[in-house]
């Protein structure tokens, strides 16, 4: 008797990420939102009967992409302050704008636009850290997207909270309100070692342990951050956080551009996670992260877009390509970070970084059915000797045709099903008017 399942996806190629390699003439079987099996088409035909079948004859099917770091609501600031360094960008552009315009409505609308952009681009899960996470949670629920919400902590006031204790209280209240939402998970997100004091970090570490929450923070993004810490603390920011008890396998270091050898050792021995944001690191002239050196030490590295104000898009295909290209020139080795590794970083690497590898990141039976299909039919994508190479070096987010999260089809033939694209455009225009007229 064939086993009944909800959905059967058949694609020209399937790249499950786990195990490695490319499968042809295989089908992915999905039931109750989870992956049931990934088997040869003939086996699928014999052993399963699907309520719905989707044929993807010129497509690659792969796990949904995981955006390891973004500030989703900053889509509203897309391109508003190009061509400035991190310090000037933050202090003279972004923070003053946020002080003036930040509100739950801003965060909701910006996050909704970001979720729409990410879904259309094949991103099924993101790690977001921004103010008013309650408003972001509402937007993610509306979109159907999976999100890892970093609850922000700073030592200085914003329209969201007054001091570190207030940020923590507000954030933990959001978590309490949303913790049963199936597609949301929470973390603590102190902004950076240089914007959060030792005393605040100590509190954060206590809460993280008690509540079993990961910590995601911007770490050693610029040379001056490292230098200033060496001057004022006589140690690197990472060493300082380690002394404060913050490091470990659920410590997620975003950027990690300027690292001492001892920092790399520490990341490895503590089993920390790294999120590489290549476009943002170049655009802010921060530097070139030592990704291949980190991977050589066995450190898991995920990929992130950062926010749309320093990128200016939330596009994991662009990050895969740039990560692969940069690793080659940084190491002087053209074999560094091949396409398959970039795909691993953007999927399972992201899931591991966020502690979600039991449920997402690969097309392994038992995991959530988060999958995307990329159409390589057009002649611009031909010839195709290896679809993994094409996913990284030839195709892009514009070739994403369909997106499933937990078996739910949220993008169909390039159209959003959970969100209205015209409504998102109207919201973006409204905020542009407000920001421009002041």
Chain residues binding a second copy by CB under 8 A are 76, 78-80, 82-86, 88-89, 113, 116-117, 120-121, 279, 281-288, 311-313, 322, 325-326, 328-329, 331-336, 338-339, 377-380, 382-386, 389-390, 393-394, 396, 398, 421-422, 424-425, 428-429, 431-432, 435-436
Full 3-state SS string of 314-359: CCHHHHHHHHHHHHHHHHCCCCCCCHHHHHHHHHHHHHHHCCCCCC
CA atoms of 149 and 141, how far apart (whole Å): 12
Rank residues 153 and 337 by Cβ distance to a second copy and give the closer one: 337
Nearer to a second copy, 166 or 293 (CB): 293
Work out how close the CB of 52 gets to a second copy at its nearest, in angstroms, rounded to a whole number. Answer: 28
Question: Which residue, 297 or 434, is less far from a second copy as judged by CB?
Answer: 434
Question: How far apart are CB 23 and a second copy at their closest, in Å?
Answer: 18
Q: Which class for 323: exposed (0-12), middle (13-18), buried (19 or more C-beta within 10 A)?
A: buried
If the CB atoms of residues 1 and 335 are measured against a second copy, the closer one turns out to be: 335
Q: Shortest Cβ distance from residue 111 to a second copy (Å)?
A: 13
Residue 168: closest CA among 180, 193, 143, 151: 151
In whole angstroms, the minimum distance from the beta carbon of 438 to a second copy comes to 13
Q: What's the rounded Cα separation, in Å, for the pair 435 and 148?
A: 28
Query: Given the complex with a second copy, which of 241 and 400 has the nearer CB atom?
Result: 400
Q: Is 58 helix (H, G, I), strand (E, B) or coil?
A: strand
Q: Smallest distance, Å, CB 286 to a second copy?
A: 8
| Cis before 383? omega within 30 | yes
Residue closer to a second copy, measured from CB, 219 or 376: 376
CB of 277 to a second copy, least distance (A): 12
In the β-sheet with 48-63, what is the strand arrangement from edge to edge?
A: 34-40, 23-31, 3-14, 48-63, 371-375, 400-405, 408-412, 415-416
Half-sphere exposure of 170 (CA within 13 A, CB side): 24
């Amino acid at each position: 008797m064939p086993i009944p399942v909800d959905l059967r996806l058949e694609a020209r190629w399937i790249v499950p990420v786990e195990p490695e390699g490319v499968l042809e003439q295989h089908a992915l079987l999905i039931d109750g939102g989870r992956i049931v099996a990934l088997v040869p088409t003939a086996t699928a035909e014999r052993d399963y009967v699907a309520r719905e079948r989707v044929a993807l004859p010129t497509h690659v099917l792969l796990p949904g992409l995981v955006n390891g770091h973004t500030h989703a609501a900053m889509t509203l600031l897309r391109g508003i302050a190009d061509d400035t360094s991190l310090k000037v960008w933050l202090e003279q552009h972004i923070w003053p704008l946020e002080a003036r315009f930040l509100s739950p409505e801003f965060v909701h609308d910006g996050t909704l636009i970001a979720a729409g952009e990410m879904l259309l681009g094949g991103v099924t899960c993101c790690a977001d850290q921004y103010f008013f996470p309650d408003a972001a949670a509402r937007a993610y629920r509306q979109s159907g997207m999976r999100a890892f919400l970093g609850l922000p902590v700073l030592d200085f006031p914003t329209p969201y909270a007054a001091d570190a204790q207030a940020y923590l209280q507000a954030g933990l209240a959001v978590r309490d309100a949303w913790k049963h939402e199936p597609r949301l998970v929470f973390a603590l997100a102190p902004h950076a070692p240089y914007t959060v004091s030792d005393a605040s970090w100590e509190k954060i570490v206590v809460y993280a342990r008690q509540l079993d929450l990961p910590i995601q923070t911007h770490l050693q993004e610029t040379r001056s951050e490292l230098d200033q810490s060496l001057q004022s603390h006589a140690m690197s920011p990472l060493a300082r956080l380690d002394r404060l008890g913050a490091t470990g396998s659920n410590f997620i270091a975003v950027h990690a551009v300027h690292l001492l050898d001892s920092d790399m050792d520490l990341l490895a021995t503590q089993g920390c996670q790294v999120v590489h944001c290549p476009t943002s690191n170049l655009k802010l002239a921060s530097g070139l992260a030592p990704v291949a050196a980190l991977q050589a030490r066995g450190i898991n590295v995920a990929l992130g877009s950062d926010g749309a104000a320093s990128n200016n898009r939330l596009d994991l295909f662009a990050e895969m390509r740039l990560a692969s290209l940069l690793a080659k020139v940084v190491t002087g080795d053209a074999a560094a970070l091949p396409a398959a590794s970039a795909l691993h970083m953007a999927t399972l690497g992201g899931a591991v970084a966020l502690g979600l590898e039991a449920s997402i990141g690969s097309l392994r039976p038992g995991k959530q059915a988060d999958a995307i299909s990329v159409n390589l039919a057009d002649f611009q994508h031909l010839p195709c000797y290896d679809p993994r190479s094409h996913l990284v070096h030839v195709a892009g987010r514009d070739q994403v045709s369909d997106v499933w999260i937990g078996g739910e089809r949220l993008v169909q033939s390039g159209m959003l099903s959970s969100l209205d694209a015209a409504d998102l455009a109207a919201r973006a225009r409204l905020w542009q008017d407000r920001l421009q007229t002041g």
